[in-house]
Structure 1
Amino acid sequence: MEDTRLRVRSLVAALILLTLTSLGARAQETAGGFLSELHEFRVNNYMALDAYYRFSGNGDTDTLNEIVIGINAANDAMNTIIKSTTGVLSTEQIEGLNQEFDQFKALMRSNINDVRKTGYPDLRLVSDMANQALAMNNMATDLYMAAQESAQTETNPRVEAARSAAVKMAQMMAKYSVRTNSQVAQTFQGSATEKPLDEQAREFDQLLATVMRGDSGSELKEIMSDISSKWEFIRGSYINYNEKNVGFVIDRYSKGILKGLATTITLLQGNA
């Protein structure tokens, strides 16, 4: 029992000690690398949010660890963006995003501590965090689009569709997770301005269709076939939410899709 308490304290401490600089972060010297970091920033923040909603329902230290992993990954991406020397975005644009991220991290810490102290989440704070996550990631998306234009480099439409699909999947996971796991699910359904799950799922359909359009080698075909199969298995759960659906199965398959999309992006970039 004491070991568990110490582990929880160390995990929360790891989240609290996140700072503006990262010892291991390296500046990305290419526009492509800069876009990749912005992409990772968006995905990992939603993954941390997804893990929080599950943590708010089960209080499990392994789930808490997932939150820390997601925040750390987003933090590493943010630090690399800050240290970039590409000049793709202005200092003011990057600092604005970093300030939004600092607010998100602060809200995440407060919400974690609430669950640890009382055993259940504070509805107001959870709502604040959900709205902050959406605003922050919308800003990151706007900056991603601005960076694409500023970079003046040709981008692969299938890579961009795969990245958008990954962000969409991570966002759907978080929204689905709050419905399934949160003890306040009946009164709180995520950000007030977020699109409904069924609409997001149909957008994912279109993005996935774009990724799959075009020539592909045998390895890429196999990966995309696996993504398609996993999506067909869980698509109905996102389109028509049902409390009888098994949440951990949806979570597992969704993570499998994210992993497959990451591999797809790597393969598509290698074939470019």
Structure 2
Amino acid sequence: MKDANLRIRALLTALILLALTSMGARAQDGANGFLSDLHNFRVSNYVALDAFYRFSGTGDTNTLNEIVQGINSANDSMNSIAGSDSGVLSAEEIEGLNQEFDKFKNLMRDNINDVRNRGYPDLRLVSDMANQALAMNEEATELYRIAQDSSETETDPRVEAARLAAVKMAQMMAKYSVRTNSSVAQTFQGSSSETPLDVQAAELDALLQTVMQGEGTPELKATLNDISSKWQFIRGSYINYNEKNVGFVIDRYSKGILKGLAATIKLLKGSA
């Protein structure tokens, strides 16, 4: 028990330090790398949010570690965005996103402390965090559009569809996690303005269809087939989200789709 408490304290310390650390200055390889960082930033924050909803019901140390890993990944992307020498975004635009991220990290820290100290979450704070995650994602998405418009390099439409699908999947995964968690499911349903899951599932259908179209290597085709199989397996659960389903199975397959989409993006960019 003592070792577990020390591990939790160390993880929380890492999260607090991330909330207080100023942005680093790692150089970026052009506009495409800049877009990649903005994409990873969006996905990582929703992965962290999904892990928090599960943590709120169990207090499990391994799940807390998933939260910190997600925040770490988003923080690395934010540092890289800030250190970019591409000149795509202004310092004010980047600082604005960083401030929104700081708010999200602070809310995450406070919500984790509530679960640890009281044994259950403060639903007001959870709602604030969910709404902050959505606002932050919308700002990052807008900056992504600005970066795209100002870039002289065209992005493969299939890469763009795969990135959008990954963000959609991560967002859906977090929202579904709320519904399957006993601590928050009865009174809290995620962000107040988020698109319903069945509508998001239809949007993901269209995005995946775009990704599937076109030629590719055997490795790419195998990866896309795996994504399609996993999505077909859990699609009905997202559409009929009020029915009781096995939450950990949905979470596992959703993460598998995210991993597959990341591999797809890498393969598509490699063949360009």
- TM bin, normalised by shorter chain, reads over 0.9
Matched, 1:86 2:86: yes
Q: Gaps (5+ residues) in structure 2?
A: none
Q: What is the aligned length?
A: 270
What is the alpha-carbon distance in structure 1 between the residues aligned to residue 94 and residue 26 of structure 2? 16
Q: What amino acid is aligned across from residue 247 of structure 2 in structure 1? A: G
Q: What amino acid is aligned across from residue 80 of structure 2 in structure 1? A: T
What is the alpha-carbon distance in structure 2 between the residues aligned to residue 21 and residue 192 of structure 1? 30
Kept in 2, the 8 Å contact 1:82–1:94? The answer is yes
Q: In the TM superposition, what whole-angstrom CA distance separates every residue of 1:103-155 from its partner, at most 9, and x where no partner exists?
A: 00000000000000000000100000000000000000000011000112111
Q: Gaps (5+ residues) in structure 1?
A: none
Q: In the TM superposition, what whole-angstrom CA distance separates every residue of 1:226-246 from its partner, at most 9, and x where no partner exists?
A: 000000000000000145200
* Cα distance, 1:29 vs structure 2: 2.6
Alignment match, 2:22: 20
Kept in 2, the 8 Å contact 1:173–1:254? The answer is yes
TM-score for the superposition, normalised by structure 2: 0.98
Kept in 1, the 8 Å contact 2:108–2:129? The answer is yes
TM-score for the superposition, normalised by structure 1: 0.98
What is the alpha-carbon distance in structure 2 between the residues aligned to residue 152 and residue 12 of structure 1? 42
Alignment match, 2:170: 170
What is the alpha-carbon distance in structure 1 between the residues aligned to residue 27 and residue 81 of structure 2? 7
Alignment match, 2:65: 65
Kept in 2, the 8 Å contact 1:53–1:182? The answer is no
Kept in 2, the 8 Å contact 1:166–1:258? The answer is yes
RMSD: 0.9
Superposed, 1:3-152 pairs within 5 Å as 3-18=3-18, 19-22=21-24, 26-152=26-152
Kept in 1, the 8 Å contact 2:175–2:190? The answer is yes
Matched, 1:213 2:213: yes
Q: In the TM superposition, what whole-angstrom CA distance separates every residue of 1:205-239 from its partner, at most 9, and x where no partner exists?
A: 00000000111111100000000000000000000
Alignment match, 1:196: 196
Matched, 1:160 2:160: yes
Query: Where do 4+ consecutive residues of structure 1 move more than 4 Å?
Result: none
Kept in 2, the 8 Å contact 1:81–1:94? The answer is yes
Distance 1:45 1:182, change over 3 A: farther
* Cα distance, 1:182 vs structure 2: 4.6
